[in-house]
């Protein structure tokens, strides 16, 4: 099932754009985001674009409950081998959110969102909780 789910998450639309302006999007790809067992009825999309300042990730996933009071969602880009994570931001909800990353999307093609809670600066809880609510993939992993 994991293979079938991963295949369903692969890029749905790729649009190439070029510009001499550094602030213009260099390229964009839109993919499906699918809820995990923690949010099985939730789905939406994420659009990734490369800009001079980094990778912009626009997320539109309605239906997740808002998280407040020290509770939030955190976005992550993950390497195919699962050994490396790069954060893309924290959010109250994901109905219309934008995150940013300073890593290359071809090295971190898997996107996920987890449920998180505020933690002390030196706490082990500063890492991902592992409570993944949404997943998507911008490129297939070998």
Domains of the chain: which residue ranges?
Answer: 2-137
Mean per-residue pLDDT for 69-86? 96
pLDDT at 142: 84
In angstroms, the CA 138 to CA 142 distance is 13
> Each residue of 25-44: pLDDT tens digit?
456 889 999 999 999 999 99
Strand partners, 50: 55
Mean per-residue pLDDT for 125-136? 92
Mean per-residue pLDDT for 2-10? 40
Mean per-residue pLDDT for 92-112? 95
DSSP string across 67-97: --TTEEEEEEEE-TTS--EEEEEEES--SSE
pLDDT at 57: 97
Q: Does pLDDT of 4 surpass 80?
A: no
Q: Does pLDDT of 97 surpass 80?
A: yes
The dotted CATH code for 2-137 is 2.60.40
């Amino acid at each position: 099932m994991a293979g079938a789910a991963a295949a369903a998450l692969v890029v749905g639309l790729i649009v190439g754009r070029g510009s001499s302006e550094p602030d213009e999007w260099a390229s964009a790809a839109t993919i499906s985001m699918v809820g995990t067992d923690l949010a099985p009825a939730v789905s939406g999309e994420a659009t990734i674009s490369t800009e001079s300042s980094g990778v912009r990730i626009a997320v539109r996933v309605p239906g997740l409950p808002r998280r407040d009071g020290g509770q939030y969602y955190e976005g992550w880009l993950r390497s195919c081998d699962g050994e490396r994570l790069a954060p893309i931001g924290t959010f109250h909800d994901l109905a219309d959110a934008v995150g940013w990353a300073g890593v290359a999307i071809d090295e971190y093609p898997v996107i996920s969102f987890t449920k998180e809670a505020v933690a002390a600066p030196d706490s082990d809880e500063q890492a991902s909780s592992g409570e993944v609510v949404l997943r998507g993939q911008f490129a297939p992993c070998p």
